[in-house]
Amino acid sequence: MTQTPGRPTAIFPRPVRNHRVRKRVGLTLTFIGLFIFILGAEPGWFGLDRSPVTGFVQIAVFLVGLAFICLGGYIALISLWNGTPLTILADIGGRLISTGYVIAVASGMADVFGFGSEALPGIPDFGLWQRRGVMFGEMVIALGFLLMIRWRDEGRKGERDDGEGVDTQPIKSKTRSVSQNRKTVL
């Protein structure tokens, strides 16, 4: 185990993570979630549409699909960071993904929770305000995904990332050391 100068060794060192597997698992979960989401949103495409309205089961199915999309996307995007600490924006993005999902669930299940436009003894219907709420939640999720993307810093020259999170070349400093400054002053 290599030790960074000036930093104590870890009592419980982090295991080496396989980021390729995480990317594949994240993308697989995302595509499974997309299939479940489409199955709930448009069951007629699969010959499963039995009702003219969007009822509780359809809403529950597409919200489960949305949960898989959020989880898989989060896993895939976290793996792009290669174990390096997240930036503040990426951390906010992760929180926006979960907040957007909560907004979508609260809006989609509003009739079931008792604060929707349809009374509970009646059949829950996916109304206009519920659609808008779910779409707003999906937009918040999309914003969170955008904030979690690891953008390459093009302004830093002399540094190369080999894809495993280890910098193979240090950044060349253009500043002079203190001893060089003293020589020029004297």
DSSP secondary structure, 121-135, as one string: TSPP---HHHHHHHH
Higher-pLDDT residue of 22, 156: 22
Is position 50 within any domain?
A: yes
| Domain assignment of residue 132, given as a range | 19-152+165-185
- Residue showing tokens 């949103």: 41
Is position 157 within any domain?
A: no
Is position 13 within any domain?
A: no
With b for 16 or more beta-carbon neighbours within 10 A and e for fewer, the 49-81 pattern comes to eeeeebeeebbebbbbbbbbbbbbbbbbbbbeb
Is position 55 within any domain?
A: yes
Instruction: Round the average pLDDT of the chain to a whole number and report it.
Output: 78
Count structural domains, the chain: 1
Task: Taking the CA atoms of 103, 109, 115 and 116 in sequence, report the sign of the dihedral they define.
Answer: positive
Is position 120 within any domain?
A: yes
Is position 159 within any domain?
A: no
Mean pLDDT of 163-184: 52
Backbone angles phi, psi at 162, to 5 degrees: -85, 10
**3-class SS at 41?**
helix
**pLDDT at residue number 21:** 86
CATH number of the domain encompassing residue 179: 1.20.120
**pLDDT at residue number 155:** 44
pTM above 0.85, yes or no: no
Is position 177 within any domain?
A: yes
Mean pLDDT of 132-160: 80
Is position 4 within any domain?
A: no
